[in-house]
Amino acid sequence: MSLTNTFGDRLETVLHASQKLLSKELVTAFSVSVFSLIVLGTLALAYFNPIYNWDILAYVGIAAEDQLESAEEIHQLAYGEVQEAASELQFYKVTASIPYRVNQYEQPEHFVSLFPMFRVKVGYIEAIKQLGSVTGLVHATTIISTVSAALVGLFILFWSARQNFTQGLMIIGPAAILIGFTFSAREATPDLMMAAFALPAVYFICRERPLYAAPFLFMMFLVRPDGLLFFFALLLAALAIGRDRMIYLALFAGALLLYFPITSSADHPGWWPHFYFSNVEYQDDMRGFDPAFSAVLYVKALVVNLARTVQAFNWLMVLAIFLLGFGLLLRGGASVSKGQWIAVIAITLCIGGKFVTFPLPDDRIYLPYMLPLLVVLMEIWKPVFSLPAENARARV
């Protein structure tokens, strides 16, 4: 006896309604709407409710240092502009919340001594300079974050439509929040700007067109020169897969040749002093700071920040879920192109390499790689949540 005969026309009515609600058109529209609302909400928060962390002081100071003569003038301008834009609580956090910040607020020479660790992010700082001449330096950081969030959202929409996984947007949107998309958009940091270039780069890598990806890869690198790790990871992935090896070798060589002039011109103190500052102990004054390398301190920093990552941040947990999902897709017989293999391997290696070489636990640090990895996995999966008419009737 069929269910229709048992329950009569009521079940037929419910099935027809379900069929309409779960039609391809409505489910796709719902997915796009959910994702678009998340992006629009993020843009509103980024522009109207930005977060002013301590880093913005350094970026504003560096953007203005060419026009000023002394550390006192740079210090006065940076702190003055941030104070004008920030709330009392936000300004208190960047000036008086811990002794280190009190010292930076009171000692202009100490403040300026930290600039080389930030000055290497030449693409981000140049964007602040150019835009800041029109909008003001602090507001320029807000605009950069907002525009970067918009570009990320638009490109994910384009990618999903182009590769036919639009219904996966209902997963991409909430997952993007989980890995720091919305929070990063509110901060004055270069990470979301880097993600805006990373997405088209990885898109072309998946299409097996590394030369098309090259300009976006180098823009990523200029925003944050630790993007050199991604070039190296791409080379290793290309060698493993056996595709475009010479091209990725040339790209890595080009980035490596740029890396040393960028760090040298910025007077960067080197990997270990920067590592020590960020992962072991803040230094009030970085002038002449050159501690001897300590394997014990290095391992301790890795362990402590791994514990902090597990306790307070999402990226490692989400990465594990992503890779588990990728394994399940492979087990289920999903088709993975060589370009997609290169992207997944390179992104995974790069995230691991970033943590091992500089174990900051913050989600925003890994966002430029987690977002493309999420979209690549969704492209491989191509989830379909709609209910075809013939399937609805077959279940009766």
- Look at the chain and report how many structural domains it folds into: 1
Instruction: Provide CB contacts within 8 A for 294, sequence distance 6+.
Output: none
Q: What amino acid is encoded at 98 in this protein?
A: I
pLDDT in single tens digits along all 396 residues of the chain:
444 455 555 655 654 555 666 788 999 999 999 999 999 999 999 999 999 999 999 999 999 999 998 999 999 999 999 999 999 999 999 999 999 999 999 999 999 999 999 999 999 999 999 999 999 999 999 999 999 999 999 999 999 999 999 999 999 999 999 999 999 999 999 999 999 999 999 999 999 999 999 999 999 999 999 999 999 999 999 999 999 999 999 999 999 999 999 999 999 999 999 999 999 999 999 999 999 999 999 999 999 999 999 999 999 999 999 999 999 999 999 999 999 999 999 999 999 999 999 999 999 999 999 999 999 999 999 999 988 755 444 443
Residue 61 lies in a domain: no
Residue 151 lies in a domain: yes
Strand partners, 227: none
User: Cα(363)–Cα(385) distance, rounded to whole angstroms?
Assistant: 29
Quote the domain boundaries for residue 230: 8-49+114-394
Rounded to two decimals, the pTM is 0.93
CA 313 vs. chain centroid, Å, equals 14
Output the DSSP codes for 287-329: TT--PPP-HHHHHHHHHHHHHHHHHH-SHHHHHHHHHHHHHHH
CA 351 vs. chain centroid, Å, equals 11
Residue 235 lies in a domain: yes
Nearest partner of 337 among 209, 249, 218, 235, judged by Cα: 209
User: Cα(292)–Cα(283) distance, rounded to whole angstroms?
Assistant: 15
Nearest partner of 181 among 146, 233, 214, 139, judged by Cα: 146
Residue 273 lies in a domain: yes
Residue 301 lies in a domain: yes
Residue 56 lies in a domain: no
Nearest 5°: CA angle at 305, between 184 and 352? 75
Residue 323 lies in a domain: yes
Phi first, then psi: give them for residue 187, nearest 5 degrees.
-95, 155
Residue 63 lies in a domain: no
User: Cα(221)–Cα(123) distance, rounded to whole angstroms?
Assistant: 8
**Residue 51 φ/ψ region, left for φ over 0, alpha for ψ in the -120 to 50 degree band, beta for the rest:** beta
